Amino acid sequence: MSSPPRPRDTPLLDDEILVRVAVAGGFSAAAALAILLVHPGTFEHARWVALTTLVLAQAVRAYANRSLRQPVLTLPTNGFLAAVCVITVAVQLAIPFVPPLARAFRASPLSPAEWLIAALVALAPAIVAEIVRSRGRGIDWVA
């Protein structure tokens, strides 16, 4: 709120930001596809691992992109958004353990190793964004 509004003829998302959004989202999508291809379990379980990876990535991305210039760790906590992100992950975790939902989603519980892989993929773009933003060069960076 301390900076002036952008001019009306300036796009909300310029080409640089759109490329960064595509790179960050593309990384998550490519990682999910890689999980589908290399996962040693059944295709249905691999699909659930890939979907969980994408859900975690979106939850992390929602919280990590509260500012495109400032490191998220320097921003005041947004309790509501944090709660929504935690609830999103909790629901994803619970689905395989609720029989009607497990059948509807064809979901099966993830192993700790699968959760670790999903978390690392979800966090990778946010970590890169945090490093770039912490350098303080005024570069907008998307997680």
* pLDDT per residue as tens, the chain (143 positions): 678 888 888 888 888 889 988 998 999 999 999 999 999 999 999 999 999 999 999 999 999 999 888 888 889 999 999 999 999 999 999 999 999 999 999 999 999 999 999 999 999 999 988 888 888 776 677 77
Task: State residue 43's pLDDT score.
Answer: 95
Ordered DSSP codes for 83-100:
HHHHHHHHHHHHGGGSHH
User: Model pTM greater than 0.85?
Assistant: yes
Task: State residue 138's pLDDT score.
Answer: 65
